[in-house]
Structure 1
């Protein structure tokens, strides 16, 4: 025997309409279905209407409107109105004509008007009443009062769907003699899933009389006619019996849609049959959405305040973590704020170095059992964590969030909420009863017959964690990781700066000891000459003094520039056109004396002016020419040649020697500091000169290239760019 579940009932394919309405359905071939009561307004039987064109039907129903299928298509194509509605008169009675498209078909509905029609001029006052009477986060209570006034029902409730799809009455307006249902709970199966989906799609439903006559629809089988958007559709037998059991003769409902989801219903009940016509339903639907807007506005205000508090905490926490390296101390200080924002009873932190608790938390024994139960789970959250039965209720904390902050040292953060005992009043005991249909051999759900108050106390649950609260805890973890990563990056950057600083200091020291040797040698030789030759001619004496003065000036300039470059990445250099001829000749003379090379042959070709800074130009040539002379000094006939030429806007200087040469195939990093080739061991030096050349060339916007053959000689080529042609 198969069990038919409530959610399996195809309530949108019922194939019947209520007594107060009429329905005709059209496709491109004409009328394909008509309710059997249509003869009352068209004077034709339903069977005779099949195949009739829409134009003919509209002339019979509403001759004064001059409607045609073409004008209907135009009206239904309007993006503002998906349903065309007009008030018409048929045989002396007032009706609403409603036309809409659905499921690739055109539906024509006619339903009776109530004698007391809705006054649209009252709309402004209804809206003002909602605004002035709202006392909670929304205007649910004044909404029930307005809808009760508009439709005249005995009871109007706002019924909110909870997370488990059960419902609760949160606002109510009723006749004085009725018992209040405010706060009552209703089980999920009272409004099954397919009914909730219909409420989400079509926002106004009602039945005028649970025992009223219903009419079949001819032309198509019920399974082929989707009545999801049909205002006059009959209710399912199960729902009608449910209403009878609740002693309700008429009902209406208006969907509360919040952000595209079914949030709840305005549920209306009347103990006597009562029709709510289309104008009343439209007004109630409008006011319901108006109240939703108030709810959303208040919710957004409240949420904005909460989000600002959360953002302030996250900002402050991040700032502290970046400044202070003691993560434990920072988190301990921020625990009370986190606990407050989480609406928690206690916070517990555990890591390899120890523990810290704020507020009320479980015992160590219970915490240990929690860890065993959760294992290595990175993130866990629940409002109904099951505690071992051996622990007393005073230690019951079913609200639990645990997150692993830092896996490296087993750092966990726990948030606790204590149990909240909830006494719930249900409209009847929430149990589903199945009836046996022996004829069809199926088991079908039976609507509840009892709605007497049934109280239930809920144990073992805490307040549910809100999404924003769980996001806060996860964000705290990310903030900690970001702060640690940023601090690590800062340390890495500081190390890089330290290395650069140390390198600059090294370069400063090496440059001074390396490049100052040449001018110091010139000064030394000049002083020695003055000491030895007491009767030196005036002209030679003057020359020696000039050499000393020039050497001291050069040393001063070199020290100033090197010191400046060691302190900053960028130094403002004054560039000017320079002819390096005199500097080159002075360098050669000094190097002759320094390395004791009397047999050096030096050839100087053309010297074109270059754009640069005087001291740096001197140091560049000092290192290149000095190396050329040094590494040629042990040759039988040492020879060094310097020449220059122009090419476009560049000036090239070539420094050639016939010295020991280099094997560049085995070592191409000759410009790195302290890099010395094997064949240079017999010569003084520490591998600094070419490193200085590379740095100076970069600052002068020049490039240096080299060609060399072992035991044959070396040629350096320096290109100075941005030179005026």
Structure 2
């Protein structure tokens, strides 16, 4: 008997809308589809709406508005998906009119506004609330959204690897039972519904029992309602909501890296409309919570990577001086076991096998090796649910978590990691089973929405805690380090030691580089924040300028930290070079340095700035140190003067940074670039003595040359020569 699956239903081609909305669809010629109810609000018969252009119809929606068709057209086409939205009044009611372009058609939607108009959103309050509630942005998000839309239940529903979902945060009305931690089966949200969630981030139904409005003009299958805010929901979905006890529903997609990570699901026991302004605010807050979650997740990863990185560097150093790889790996085995959070570890080759913690017996070990060798990829194998011929080892312990990595390709030299079984109870919102009913008219079976959502408990056995991506990457790095050490040992020890010294020297400046070069953008952020706190009457232009300064500064901080972090992870860092005009960066450095070194009476002369080939972050740091020093060491002059200009000579561009500051007694100009080198006359000026060391290091990296001319109490001129 044929079965009609949920994912076969084309829910975006339903040809119907909800009762609170109105719709008309246009092609290049005129209106080609219109909802049946639109004629009642426009006082025009349907056949007179069809065929008319947008320009002809918009005055019927509101004669009080001046409709600039060219501006509307520009707004809805300037991005991949953009809406034009206007609040209008018709027949003593307020509506949101929105226009958007999709599938080479133009859609005009009208939906009624809620009586209680949403006040100006307190975005600052919302942002602080999301960040400060014990670090749980998802829980804070449910509280805010329930406050905004007034629903009985708001929950964050995260998708698992098996595509089922679990409630990880929830806010509910008094008297309602909690669904926190409950699981929902994959088939509750069919494939095509998940696809729509990634394309259109806000969906809602105001009343599941209200009649739906048909669309006339085109057949239902010809009207793609993927991005429609008023699209009617499928009967199966409505019955599902009815069975769950909800009369109104809303959802906001949580999309991370282009994939549907989860959903903010909202339910209300009585009909309730969520109007356009409320939905837009909730979608915005959801995205803010996503950004906060990613930020916190990145911090956790950075901590883990730092811990792993320390061991990786120690392992690399040890392998370079100790030729017995087995002895070195055994020495680091307890650390690996702890970092990867495994219950057992084994190092095995053709001759020996040594273990730590709990490991399988010999028979189970042979089962593991036999299975892995039958797989396509044998360098790295991992699973959380390995099936043995016998469940328990001779130790009476079940180890379904197995990871094996080949340390030396071509040789049987492996590291194994094991994890014990993790037994826990899954609580499902109803028994996760799909029930089919028979339709005698169509002679097909179709899935029936689940009728029960009462807690159903299932004990999960046979699996361990899953191996995380960071743990797998760490083990790959361990193998890579071992392989590199062996491959490079013969005849390359001296060279490797030289590179190791260079790498360690770079690491020495890691912390100092951060504290030194981050002062400038952090000062910009601090100054902007101080002005916002002190002055209540700042203009929009000034606020916009300060916001841009903050965004630029945070962008620079992020780029600088990324680059320095890369420097700590490898001997070489790949930079993207391009042709750059540094003029704007120089002006930004000027403004922040003047504030930082209290040099408001500075005379700054900026000559011609020729474009140069370099990497943006490195060039910023280069000019920051040289111009910052020029302003700092001339700041105590009665009339400080700093001049920056460039000269093009053949294939070279020479940049000069000249000041009339304290100058230097340069007898051996090479030592001024040594780290922590400070000249005697620099006392009384803040500094750590690493600025010029950073300049020299960056210049070498960019294949540029730095020279200096200086005279005590007269001034200093630095020249950086770039090859074009």
- Same fold? TM cut 0.5: yes
Aligned to 2:396: 394
Aligned to 1:92: 92
- 3-state SS of paired residue (2:486): helix
* In structure 1, distance between residues paired with 2:121 and 2:464: 48
Aligned to 1:285: 283
Structure 1 vs Structure 2 CA RMSD: 1.8
Aligned to 1:198: 196
Is the Cα contact below 8 Å between 1:58 and 1:68 reproduced in 2? no
Q: Which of 452, 457, 462 is the equivalent residue of 1:460?
A: 462
Is 1:275 matched with 2:273?
A: yes
* In structure 1, distance between residues paired with 2:347 and 2:390: 25
* In structure 2, distance between residues paired with 1:38 and 1:299: 48
Aligned to 2:3: 3
Aligned to 2:52: 52
Between 391-400 and 45-54, the greater mean CA deviation after superposition: 391-400
Deviations 1:4-63, CA, capped at 9 Å, x for gaps: 111111111111000000000011110000000101211123333110111111010022
Q: Name stretches of at least 5 consecutive residues in structure 2 with no aligned partner.
A: 497-724
Aligned to 1:571: none
| CA pair 141-492 structure 1, distance change in 2 beyond 3 A | closer
Is the Cα contact below 8 Å between 2:320 and 2:493 reproduced in 1? no
Aligned to 2:448: 446
Displacement of 1:474: 1.6
Aligned to 1:116: 116
Aligned to 2:167: 169
Is the Cα contact below 8 Å between 1:54 and 1:68 reproduced in 2? no
* In structure 1, distance between residues paired with 2:32 and 2:256: 37
Aligned to 1:690: none
* In structure 1, distance between residues paired with 2:197 and 2:493: 60
Q: Return the TM-score normalized by structure 1.
A: 0.66
Is 1:383 matched with 2:381?
A: no
* In structure 2, distance between residues paired with 1:489 and 1:24: 77
Is 1:303 matched with 2:305?
A: no
| CA pair 491-316 structure 1, distance change in 2 beyond 3 A | closer
Counterpart mapping for 1:194-343 below 5 A: 194-343=192-341
| CA pair 408-82 structure 1, distance change in 2 beyond 3 A | closer
Displacement of 1:373: 2.8
Deviations 1:499-537, CA, capped at 9 Å, x for gaps: xxxxxxxxxxxxxxxxxxxxxxxxxxxxxxxxxxxxxxx
Aligned to 1:28: 28
- 3-state SS of paired residue (1:65): coil
Aligned to 1:127: 127
- 3-state SS of paired residue (1:64): coil
Displacement of 1:493: 9.4
- 3-state SS of paired residue (2:251): strand
- 3-state SS of paired residue (1:366): helix
Displacement of 1:390: 5.6
* In structure 2, distance between residues paired with 1:50 and 1:80: 27
Displacement of 1:375: 2.8
Displacement of 1:68: 4.4
- 3-state SS of paired residue (2:480): helix
| CA pair 228-409 structure 1, distance change in 2 beyond 3 A | closer
Displacement of 1:464: 1.0
- Who wins on radius of gyration, i.e. which is larger? 1
Is the Cα contact below 8 Å between 2:114 and 2:274 reproduced in 1? yes
Deviations 1:291-316, CA, capped at 9 Å, x for gaps: 11110110010111111122222221
Deviations 1:318-354, CA, capped at 9 Å, x for gaps: 1111110011110011111111221111111111231
Between 106-115 and 397-406, the greater mean CA deviation after superposition: 397-406
* In structure 1, distance between residues paired with 2:114 and 2:153: 19
- 3-state SS of paired residue (1:449): coil
Deviations 1:383-407, CA, capped at 9 Å, x for gaps: 1001223636932111101122224
Aligned to 1:369: 367
Aligned to 2:138: 140
- 3-state SS of paired residue (2:166): strand
Q: Name stretches of at least 5 consecutive residues in structure 1 with no aligned partner.
A: 495-725
Is the Cα contact below 8 Å between 2:391 and 2:398 reproduced in 1? no
Deviations 1:119-154, CA, capped at 9 Å, x for gaps: 124232222222222x24x41111101111110100
Displacement of 1:365: 2.8
Q: Return the TM-score normalized by structure 2.
A: 0.66
- 3-state SS of paired residue (2:140): helix
Displacement of 1:80: 9.7
Displacement of 1:168: 0.2
| CA pair 360-422 structure 1, distance change in 2 beyond 3 A | same
- 3-state SS of paired residue (1:63): coil
Displacement of 1:490: 2.6
Q: What number of residue pairs does the alignment pair up?
A: 492
Is the Cα contact below 8 Å between 1:36 and 1:45 reproduced in 2? no
| CA pair 194-121 structure 1, distance change in 2 beyond 3 A | closer
Displacement of 1:81: 7.7
Aligned to 2:345: 347
